[in-house]
Structure 1
């Protein structure tokens, strides 16, 4: 496949930008810091969820007398506690996934990968202008090494965009509800008949949420956090990896077809 002059110029500019970006530390540092912060925030959420699970478990067997009847708190909170336990298990999976991504990111930012990327890119530039009949195969190898070098950085950028547009606000609100719910559950054993959930959860200066019980509050918050954690640690990384792989392979197949 013989490249035309405009294509040679565009590819040359793209490769030069890629090589320069490869050695600039700012983008890599931002990706590492963001991924570390994501692991820390997940660990905080895991701590809150385990605390809530422990508080519920402690009082699950307690009986509360209401008039002539007796109510077991465990019966009231058992479905919620099951959801919280499953969520804590999912959080361990997401923390593991983020840890693996952090290790892979460090590897892609290592000096050997950067050197290999620069050498392949510069050799590709040489072939584009000096040995045009080599350019097709070298472009494929360059795309592969660009994919290896930058795919995790791109994935972190997409996760940051997801946080900025959606999860920063909704996730923090859900976490705040779970933190406040711990106080509600601790108070539930001693005052199940006269708890003011809106004041305990949101404070007297915040509009009360009416017609929703504590189980609904916890379940809604947990579901919000589950969705966010799945997108950040699994769905977005796998989708980014798949799209990048498809882009590289489709270009390779097209080049082989025209070669």
Structure 2
């Protein structure tokens, strides 16, 4: 009996001391896990933001060319060449990629916020639960024992929530380095090459001709020359359109994969993996 009381006293003292330490450890970061999580969220949000900015620039450029027309009117008589609907597939794909990127950035931001909240609030909340458990351990009432188990479950769930995102970020970083980063980089480079001729089309302009008489005399050859130049620029752009759309589609698939694997699947797997370990160790 005396031994039991000594054990309870020692357990209570240790529990209260640990609870006090945890209560004043709000924001405490673990050297490897938290550093990896911080780096992962920072890099993932930055890269997604840059990809979104690039996507919007492409979309804006396509819209300018698509909605514009080329006026060839020397001496007030000429033709109007509209780019028309040739660039619709690119416009549609950039819009879809933008939506995917916005979803991914928002989800990463929510995860980062949840992670920072867990870092700040998990230690003091667990300390309160631990303090209550240390006091309740002196009582033999069945209802209080049930309450102890319930409090312990909540405390362990908070501990799991604290560690599941840092653990999943370690896996995410490995997946990024070995799969997503290289493919996204290669696809972005191919996309930039495909848009080289598009930039020429966007910047296409017609020089002014001095003198009305000279313009009238050369109107036929002028219109022919400018029409050929415009047609060549448009043909080169349209010939690259299949590759451009393919690369935009590939980027969309890659970022959908990032969203599904890194934002949803891995955090859930980490949570259930930790939950399984806790259940095995404590049997609750």
TM (norm. structure 2) is 0.60
1:92 pairs, out of 71, 85, 102, with 102
Distance 1:120 1:24, change over 3 A: farther
Does residue 177 of structure 2 align to residue 168 of structure 1? no
Q: Is the 8 A contact 1:48 1:178 kept in 2?
A: no
Distance 1:59 1:248, change over 3 A: same
For these two proteins, the number of residue pairs brought into alignment is: 217
How far did residue 223 of structure 1 move? Answer: 2.1
1:44 pairs, out of 34, 39, 50, with 50
Q: Is the 8 A contact 2:45 2:109 kept in 1?
A: yes
1:220 pairs, out of 235, 240, 246, with 246
Distance 1:119 1:158, change over 3 A: farther
Q: Is the 8 A contact 1:53 1:81 kept in 2?
A: yes
Larger Rg: 2
Per-residue CA deviations over 1:28-70 (Å, capped at 9, x if unaligned) read 12211221111111111111111111111111133599xxx99
In the alignment, the residues of structure 1 paired with residue 81 and residue 178 of structure 2 have an alpha-carbon distance, to the nearest angstrom, of 43
Match of 2:60? Answer: 54
Distance 1:245 1:35, change over 3 A: closer
Listed as ranges, the gaps of 5+ residues in structure 2 are 1-21, 23-27, 73-78, 134-144, 205-228
Aligned positions of 1:75-114 closer than 5 A = 75-110=85-120, 112-114=121-123
Q: Is the 8 A contact 1:64 1:73 kept in 2?
A: no
* SS of residue paired to 2:232: coil
Q: Is the 8 A contact 1:113 1:149 kept in 2?
A: yes
Per-residue CA deviations over 1:56-88 (Å, capped at 9, x if unaligned) read 1111133599xxx99743322111211111211
TM (norm. structure 1) is 0.65
In the alignment, the residues of structure 2 paired with residue 237 and residue 157 of structure 1 have an alpha-carbon distance, to the nearest angstrom, of 13
In the alignment, the residues of structure 1 paired with residue 257 and residue 130 of structure 2 have an alpha-carbon distance, to the nearest angstrom, of 33
Q: Is the 8 A contact 1:120 1:142 kept in 2?
A: yes
Does residue 164 of structure 2 align to residue 155 of structure 1? no
Listed as ranges, the gaps of 5+ residues in structure 1 are 1-18, 125-132, 201-211
Q: Is the 8 A contact 2:161 2:271 kept in 1?
A: no
How far did residue 226 of structure 1 move? Answer: 1.7
Q: Is the 8 A contact 1:31 1:156 kept in 2?
A: yes
Q: Is the 8 A contact 1:174 1:225 kept in 2?
A: yes
